[in-house]
Copies of this chain bind each other. A is one copy, B any other.
């Protein structure tokens, strides 16, 4: 950040009284956002995880709550064709595009209470602070709740901010079908579910229809670094590259007791070898590989599977290294399927997500950094070098990756206990939630001031 053209902007003289309220923030997170609570692990009301799958009934409830919450503090609420919810609080200059905060309210099937939820609620808390102090900002300040960020139900992460950024075609997104069958035995599409819960908006889902001046997203780190280094705030400069694939292995379903090993086309055995290999390859590049879904057909103890389908999530900080991991997987997989699987299996690759490495905008990074410095100023200096904020790269993708294509963007990370996320026990302390929300408010006000200059 030494090269930033903006000097450190102190806000205290302007907005000394603008402090987020920890109690109100935590009440919004735990009581406001209770719909879809699941996977209890302790006695305290907050000791559960979440299973609020995008566009399910609990997601409808949380959306209704979001709408009434922002409207109760005078914001204008609107919904676009992807179900993205926008709340706007007008400032002095009515012409200027809004400076937006945002994140997502959908969760993983065994998700936690903070991933996405903290970011939306911190934005709501920031708007509440502006409202109760009757602050007139330079331009409009807003908040967005993006649909299906997780990609856990409809298998394309951040698909709705992707449509807004015109990086994903609307029809592709609408036609995504869910990964598991619903209770009625069918697989629903995003469009069907948007309609069903009443969140298929009229507003075109596009940055051209609804442009942002800038976008700031607060999120839990979801990894172990801040905690390990005893720091408080991550100033996020960018996001590592990742790709998602669905790989289909086809063999032949024959009898487990009468088919000699040499006569087999065992697609499960082949898939197992591929999964082991992908991990070895990724590790060799200091990257990541994960298989989170695997389905096999027909599914009978004494019959080999004729078809196995599994997902592969590979990641690396550097685009070129990720390409190398992919290339090596493709060639080794082919060898294993053809030559190391007895009579051989065939392979099919389908790319689900391609998210190149992202570098956020230096103005936004500077606004976050300056706000973090101020927020950390009076805290005990826990880190070994005394610095409580840290410039870092995100391991996870976020809607901010897509907004960054269309407007200056940056992110703020908070400490995540044991680095555990996508798990019911995911945890960020009330103090850390507050620090994050305060940093977000400071960054937005700095950026709002900057653009008026």
Interface set of A (CB-CB < 8 Å, partner B)? 108-110, 150-152, 155, 157, 179-180, 183, 185, 221-224, 240, 242, 244, 252-261, 263, 266, 268-269, 271-273, 275-276, 279, 282-283, 288, 290-294, 296-306, 311, 313, 315, 352, 394-397, 419-423
Please report the C-alpha to C-alpha distance between residue A359 and residue B394 in the assembled complex, in whole angstroms: 63
Residues of B within 8 A of A394 (CB): 257-258
Please report the C-alpha to C-alpha distance between residue A273 and residue B273 in the assembled complex, in whole angstroms: 8
Please report the C-alpha to C-alpha distance between residue A294 and residue B151 in the assembled complex, in whole angstroms: 23
B315–A395 touching, CB < 8 Å: no
Residues of B within 8 A of A254 (CB): 419-423
Return A253 CB to nearest CB of chain B, in Å: 5
Please report the C-alpha to C-alpha distance between residue A290 and residue B304 in the assembled complex, in whole angstroms: 7
Q: Which residue of B lies closest to A220 (CB)?
A: B258
A268–B255 touching, CB < 8 Å: no
Q: Which residue of B lies closest to A51 (CB)?
A: B298
A300–B108 touching, CB < 8 Å: yes
Return A403 CB to nearest CB of chain B, in Å: 18
Residues of B within 8 A of A242 (CB): 257
Please report the C-alpha to C-alpha distance between residue A82 and residue B111 in the assembled complex, in whole angstroms: 43
Q: Which of B151, B155, B221, B273 is A258 in contact with, Cβ under 8 Å? A: B221
Q: Which residue of B lies closest to A308 (CB)?
A: B294
Residues of B within 8 A of A244 (CB): 301-302
Residues of B within 8 A of A152 (CB): 300-303
A223–B259 touching, CB < 8 Å: yes
* 11 pairs of residues in contact across A and B, judged by CB atoms under 8 Å: A108-B298, A108-B300, A183-B185, A223-B259, A255-B421, A258-B421, A263-B419, A266-B290, A272-B273, A292-B300, A302-B422
Return A269 CB to nearest CB of chain B, in Å: 6
Query: Which 9 interchain pairs have the tightest Cβ spacing?
Result: A223-B258, A258-B395, A256-B290, A257-B396, A109-B298, A272-B275, A272-B272, A303-B422, A222-B258
Return A441 CB to nearest CB of chain B, in Å: 25
Please report the C-alpha to C-alpha distance between residue A304 and residue B291 in the assembled complex, in whole angstroms: 7
Residues of B within 8 A of A108 (CB): 253, 298, 300, 303
Residues of B within 8 A of A303 (CB): 108-110, 152, 292, 422-423
Residues of B within 8 A of A283 (CB): 261
Please report the C-alpha to C-alpha distance between residue A362 and residue B296 in the assembled complex, in whole angstroms: 42
Please report the C-alpha to C-alpha distance between residue A303 and residue B422 in the assembled complex, in whole angstroms: 6
Return A163 CB to nearest CB of chain B, in Å: 19
Interface centre among A222, A258, A261, A315 (most CB of B within 10 A): A258
A269 and B258 in contact, given A110-B306, A263-B419 (Cβ under 8 angstroms)? no
A300 and B306 in contact, given A256-B313, A422-B254, A422-B255 (Cβ under 8 angstroms)? no
